[in-house]
Chains A and B, each alone.
Chain A
Amino acid sequence: MTAQQNDLPFYEPAGNEIDLFEHAHRNHLPVLIKGPTGVGKTRFVAYMAAKLNLPLYTVACHDDLTAADLVGRHLIGDGATYWSDGPLTRAVREGGICYLDEVVEARKDTTVVIHPLADHRRVLPIDRTGEVLHAPDNFMLVVSYNPGYQNFLKGMKPSTRQRFLALRFDFPDAAREEAVLIGETGCDEMTAKRLVSIGRSLRALKDVDLEEVASTRLLVYAAILIRDGMDTVEACRASLVEALTDDLEVAAALDEVVLATFGR
């Protein structure tokens, strides 16, 4: 769970997000990152953790995740019980970034523990042990969510939202996305350009012909397959076309987009 120090993971910045994150960290402010899937939210947090030399505790939230899962629980062993810290508690005790991914998925009672940590108090009360932990200077809370998935029952409460600095991640522009593909996979420039062009064509179909559109992650997959010597069109079919639609006619059209770009 702890990111390796020293060697930074590859991250291609979009704007001033690195700077903003550093300001937030220096001033003990929590950060919320929102954006569609696969555009580098997780990667960014990993990068920042390494850059700031902080351990990273990532929790993928789901709808059965309770406050107790974050804080910790009593375990039984050798006829006695002992307390085991949850990821949030460990981050507060030892310092570091606690990253709650897809935070809107978590159960409502998690807000109870997040709120006092995410404002000026910066405390984590653990009712079961009676402790009240004060977060050290190098503790930072980061949450992320994908506004697209959010159904209207699962929005984020304003009282939670307004405790965070917010950063919006979006599909990168063409030049940056090419840089991501090259940096991430070492593919050649032409391949990167073409994959990005395909990605952008497919994004034009959002909400009309496709429910979900190609993320940078999928383009990375395609680039990896191509770099590995796979036929470009086959690679795109597996990583993009079939990943995005089950409709045969739509898939045929996406195939044509790939062909129009890579050609035969």
Chain B
Amino acid sequence: MEEWIGGIWDRWITQTARRDHPEAAVHLKDIEKTIGVLFRALGGDAGLRVAAAADTTHGARRRLLERIAGVHERTAHAALDMETLRLPPRIAVFPAPTFNRDLYIWLAAVAGSAGPALAGKYAGEWIVRNQFAAWVTLQRYPGLMPRYRRLVDALLAERIAPEKLPEDEAAQERAVRQALVEPGTVTELPPLTRHKAKPLQPVPLWLYPAPPSVAAPRKKDPQPGEAEDNEQPKEQQAENKRYQANRDELPENESPMILMWRAESIFSWAEYLRVNRALDEDENPDAGRAAESLDQLTVADGEQRVASKVRFDLDLPSAAADDLLVGPGIPLPEWDWKRRVMKPDFCRLQTMVAREAEPQPLPERLRRHARKLKNQFAALAPVRRWQKAQPEGTEIDVDACVRIYADRLAGWHFSGAGAYLNHRPTERDLACLVLADLSLSTDAHANDEQRVIDVIRDSLMLFGEALSATGDQFGFYGFSSLKRNFVRFHEIKPFDRPLDAVARGRIAALKPGYYTRIGAAVRRSIQLLEMVPANRRLMIILSDGKPHDIDLYEGRYGIEDTRMALIEAREAGIKPFCVTIDREGAGYLPHLFGPAGYTIVRKPEDLPDRLPLLYAQLTGNA
């Protein structure tokens, strides 16, 4: 009985105390794409990805009821750094969904139009920076004004009023309110004077300092207005120092506040931040860095990976157990986006073939499907078109006949033109390379019975049957990597061999492992495609599209290298196309592949069906 009452009480108090409005919540995943496009349209950097921000403890004052119920001690802040625009995974600040949606829109607009001004992490200037950003945004997009007003009014109603706060906290709250209502009028956040004073209540309209990229999961973010403590990890201290240095480089006597109101300096100020951030260099990835990246995998970041597995797989199999290496490694360059240079011979790619791949027939369960595909693809005639004035053909070309007749009557007899319409298939002359991601992420479960790798295997088996029916030239390759010196490139079905029992055996022997250095694999694929005599070349990449390796190849670095490799492909006349089965990566796929250069297969088990279809679409008007 007591328990029962306790349960009811608990539910009641939690619901009553909630200051957010779950029934009106808007989720990031539902408007992620729209937010991304808007961010870019208003000036945001296309190389950034939009991701969900992790919850952090804000430590701010809560209402009595909230404290009793234990709600609202954590919140997810919006933040922007050089790689990611982080937004709360869900917004339920306001009682009306349109307001919550508008808050997402506002955050994307601020990040896009005033982003560089916000990229720094100066705790003390945070309030100035955000006013500046709001001001710039409203200047550039005056249409946002009514919405901004609505949001501010609604937000003020949701916040604890200054009258109910102790003096020092009230002063801060008043400053924030004024900064929100009239951006540009508040020069600093008044300091907290009492030892036990609580930090500011979260301000959801503002962007917060980005969390350190390698955060220990439970470490609090540096809070605005909070005294800096000295127990920060070394890395973070270094970062703070860097920002300190940046500040010293600002012209003297010009506080950001002054710069702020001189319209022409807006961009120069933004430039400061950009340039200084670019100094953030780490070109010699050491063990520490790699370990940090691993830690990052354990951070709840919306990127679900199994950290323990990753660690486990770091040990290479003994040479005797690993796949056979073919030939010496192939040196390949890599793009350093910060320095904007191509680093020659930076990677070494090793071609490999499976060691224990028994030749295999097509698995029984796929046979019916394969037969169907084969028929479809054989019937999928390359585009035909009527050619006019041909010397022979199936139909009379009336126009040409009249013309010839008229020419004759006029005494002109030399017309070499034919008088027929001919329906001829145009030649395909096409080569297609399929590059499959075999990294450890393909070990994840696609559904109850299959892992992603199983789906990839089936897809390759079936796609191979379909391709054989078209007569197009094709090759299958797979890749993974373990740092830059060991990019593993698996030869599954080279262009010059048929899809036979050996190739099927290799498909069946594919196993997941290691990481995803896409750039190097794409560069090797370009070389291979260029060796095939064909008019048109297509590269289909089966991957979650997320570049990642345990040295410096991650985040923006990996994305930009991949992008550069894809540009190289296009320059070589190759059309790259990405088929991804990961929703999470979708944010930057447009940046890498362009608007019509990728597709997302939401249900992995659809891949075997989708792939041949896609190919038909891609090559249909060859």
Contact = CB atoms under 8 A, between A and B. Distances in A.
Chain B associates with chain A? yes
Interface of A: 64, 66, 68, 73-76, 80-83, 127-129, 152, 194, 197, 201-202, 204-205, 207-211, 249-250, 252-254, 256-264
A68 B407 CA distance: 12
14 contacts: A66-B389, A74-B403, A74-B406, A74-B407, A194-B143, A202-B41, A204-B43, A208-B595, A250-B34, A250-B37, A253-B34, A253-B35, A256-B109, A263-B143
B594 A263 contact: no
Contact of A254 (B33, B41, B109, B410): B41
Given A202-B41, A207-B594, A208-B594, 5 more contacts: A76-B402, A83-B410, A152-B573, A250-B34, A254-B37
B430 interface: no
A216 B436 CA distance: 42
B27 interface: no
Interface string B33-56: 111111011110010000000000
Nearest to A249: B33
A118 to B, nearest CB: 24
B391 to A, nearest CB: 15
A209 B595 contact: yes
A103 B611 CA distance: 37
Contact of A209 (B37, B141, B409): B37
Contact of A250 (B33, B405, B573): B33
For the residues of B in contact with A, the DSSP-based class is helix
A259 B405 CA distance: 62
Interface stretch (B144-152, B348-356, B456-464): B144-152
B315 to A, nearest CB: 40
A254 B410 CA distance: 60
B431 to A, nearest CB: 15
B38 A256 contact: yes
B25 to A, nearest CB: 18
B591 interface: yes
B595 A259 contact: no
Given A68-B403, A209-B590, A263-B147, A81 B409 contact: yes
Contact of B403 (A73, A127, A207, A250): A73
Interface in B410-444: 410, 412, 414
Contact of B146 (A64, A253, A263): A263
Contacts of A260: 38, 42, 105, 109, 141, 143-144
B321 interface: no
B596 interface: yes
A128 B34 contact: no
A164 to B, nearest CB: 26
B517 interface: no
Interface in B586-605: 590-591, 594-596
A260 B402 CA distance: 60
Nearest to A252: B34
B37 A264 contact: no
B42 A74 contact: no
Interface in B503-518: none
B166 interface: no
A205 B40 contact: yes
A87 to B, nearest CB: 17
Contacts of B41: 201-202, 204-205, 209, 253-254, 257
A253 B33 CA distance: 8
Given A201-B42, A204-B43, A260-B144, A211 B595 contact: yes
B142 interface: yes
Interface in B105-121: 105, 109
Contacts of B483: none
A204 B38 CA distance: 10
Interface of B: 31, 33-38, 40-43, 46, 105, 109, 140-147, 388-389, 402-403, 405-407, 409-410, 412, 414, 573, 590-591, 594-596
Contacts of B46: 208
A111 B34 CA distance: 47
Contacts of A254: 37, 41
A261 B143 contact: yes
Nearest to B32: A249
Contacts of B142: 261, 263
Nearest to A233: B143
B38 A211 contact: no
A82 to B, nearest CB: 8
Contacts of B43: 201, 204
Task: Identify the interface centre among B142, B146, B388, B402: most chain A CB within 10 Å of its CB.
Answer: B142
B386 to A, nearest CB: 9
Nearest to B590: A208
Contacts of B591: 208
A209 B403 contact: no
Contacts of B140: 197
Nearest to A203: B41
Given A209-B40, A252-B34, A254-B37, A75 B406 contact: yes
The 5 closest A-B pairs by CB, nearest first: A263-B143, A253-B37, A74-B406, A260-B141, A249-B33
B595 A73 contact: no
Contacts of B409: 74, 76, 80-81
Given A152-B573, A205-B41, A208-B594, A249 B144 contact: no
A250 B142 CA distance: 22
Contacts of A211: 594-596
A12 B53 CA distance: 48
A146 to B, nearest CB: 18
Contacts of A256: 34, 38, 105, 109
A24 B36 CA distance: 47
Contacts of A202: 41
Contacts of A152: 573
Contact of A264 (B146, B402, B573, B590): B146
Contact of B595 (A68, A80, A201, A210): A210
A148 to B, nearest CB: 13
Contacts of B34: 249-250, 252-253, 256
A210 B596 CA distance: 8
A47 to B, nearest CB: 32
A253 B37 CA distance: 6
A250 B405 CA distance: 55
B410 A128 contact: yes
Contacts of B105: 256, 260
Contact of A263 (B37, B42, B144): B144
A218 to B, nearest CB: 15
Contacts of B414: 127
A40 B33 CA distance: 33
Contacts of B147: 259, 263-264
A208 B40 contact: yes
Nearest to A256: B38
B406 A64 contact: no
Contacts of B407: 73-74, 128
B254 to A, nearest CB: 28
Contact of A76 (B42, B406, B596): B406
Nearest to A82: B410
Contacts of B595: 207-211
Contacts of B590: 208-209
Contacts of B405: 76
B106 to A, nearest CB: 9
Task: Identify the interface centre among A210, A258, A260: most chain B CB within 10 Å of its CB.
Answer: A260
A231 to B, nearest CB: 13
A125 to B, nearest CB: 14
A168 B550 CA distance: 47
